[in-house]
Amino acid sequence: MGTDTLRYTKLPLTNGSGAMPALGFGTLIPDPLATKQAIATALEVGFRHFDCAERYRNEQAVGDAMQGMLKAGNIRREDVFVTTKLWNNNHRPERVRPAFEASRQRLQVDYVDCYLIHTPFSFQPGNEQDPRDDHGQVIYDPGVTLVETWRALERLVDEGRCKSIGLSDVSLPQVQDIVDAARIKPAVVEVESHPYLPQWDLLDFCHQHGIVLLAFAALGHGMEPKLLDDPVLNTIAQRVHKTPAQVVLAWAVQRGTALVIFDDQNAVTYPGFEQYHATFRQTSSGINYNLHSTSHPGPRIGNPGVSLARIAS
């Protein structure tokens, strides 16, 4: 890869419109002020893909930061790829468009580049994001299917306010069901994926059907065992004179995936965006072979479906 290859790498959306920048910035940041500062810094250092969600409760702050940069003439809207997500309490078809419009208005954009169903689980419809019964248990909604919600997303594409649609935190069988039923196929499937949870079967299916796999937690998690401390990974990094993070990001892009980096993984606090622009003269097959041989020494961080406890926290 050339020095700026990762900066400019984009994955065409076969089942949507346009192309997704391979390197995305995750906006799961609790504090609105910190969100604005992080988004502004991310834009300044070169990020052009932002992974947002209704659930994060900070779309307004994300929109404020983007508008500040747009009005200053530092970026153009067409150069920024904005993804956001439908939360579980809005799965009923009649709730999808209002939820989408609320997100779009908070983000202060005329259109959304990609709209995802955040999880396959539908909660009791209403304004409460985390509805619970008297015993503290989540109240689910058995009255709507994932396919019904998907068809409501298809109508958003028909209306022109959303350029592509997709799924998040889903298993391979759930993706297969939507692909079989869909009039507009998923353009993107976002799941946790990294060398300890590579999702090979799902990735193969996505490649076969022209779907971009968007990997979140691409650098693993802070819990033990830490991906970036992996001895195989560090051996490769030393051999190619790069950081373990650069090796992982290069591996992800070489597999044909896009990926999301979160601010708690120092995405914008490293000295320069180039820390995430890995330059490798070694063949991709060499790096892929070594990482493919890496096995998680403990239980998987998540499963191919969803870690609802983490999402709902």
Q: Are 16 and 242 in contact (CB under 8 A)?
A: no
Q: 202: which residues sit within 8 A by CB, 6+ positions away?
A: 171, 172, 175, 189, 191, 213, 304
Return the CA Rg of the chain. Answer: 19
Question: Which two tokens mark 277?
Answer: 């622009």
Candidates 234, 197, 115; CA nearest to 163 is 115
- In the residue annotation, 196 being an active-site residue is answered as no
Amino acid at 310: R
In the three-class reduction of DSSP (H, G, I as helix; E, B as strand; rest coil), residue 82 is classed as strand
Active-site pick, 56, 115, 196, 276: 56
Q: Which two tokens stand for residue 39?
A: 């988004």
The secondary structure of the chain in percent helix, strand, coil, rounded to multiples of 5, reads 40, 15, 40
Check: CB of residue 256 under 8 Å from CB of residue 288: no
CA distance 245 to 275: 9
Virtual CA dihedral for 208, 191, 153, 206, nearest 10 degrees? Answer: 0
Between CA 91 and CA 246 the distance in angstroms is 38
Residues serving a catalytic function are 56
